[in-house]
Structure 1
Amino acid sequence: MDRPILAITMGDPAGSGPEISVKALSNDKIYQKARPLIIGDARVMEKAVRLVGLERKLTIHEITDIKDARFTPGYIDVYHLELVDMEKLEYGKVSAMCGNAAFHSVKKAIRLAMDGEVDATVTNALNKEALNLAGHHYSGHTEIYARFTGAEKYTMLLAHENLRVVHVSTHVSLRDACDKVKKERVLDVIRIAEKACRALGIENPKVGVAGLNPHCGENGLFGTEEITEIQPAIKAAQDEGILAEGPIPPDTVFSKARGGMYDIVVAMYHDQGHIPLKVVGFVYDRDKREWNAVKGVNITLGLPIIRTSVDHGTAFGHAGKGNANAASLENAIDYAVTLAKNR
Structure 2
Amino acid sequence: MTNEREPPPAYYIGMEVVIALASVLGNVMVVWAVKINRSLRDTTFYFVVSLALADIAVGALAIPLAITISTGLKTHFYSCLMVACIMLVLTQSSILALLAIAIDRYLRVKIPLSYKRVVTPRRAGTAVIACWLVALIVGLIPMLGWNNVGKLNQTNNSQGPGMVTCEFEEVVSMEYMVYFNFFGWMLPPLVLMLVIYFEIFYMIHKQLNKKLNKAASQADPRRYYGKELKLAKSLALVLFFFAISWLPLHILNCITLFCPGHKTQDLIFVAILLTHGNSAVNPVIYAFRIKKFRVAFIRIWEHYVCCKKRNRLPRKATRRMDCPEIMRRNNDI
Q: Same fold by TM-score, threshold 0.5 exceeded?
A: no
- Highest CA radius of gyration, 1 or 2? 2
Q: Greater strand percent: which structure?
A: 1
Task: Please give the TM-score of this superposition, normalised by the length of structure 2.
Answer: 0.28
Q: Greater helix percent: which structure?
A: 2
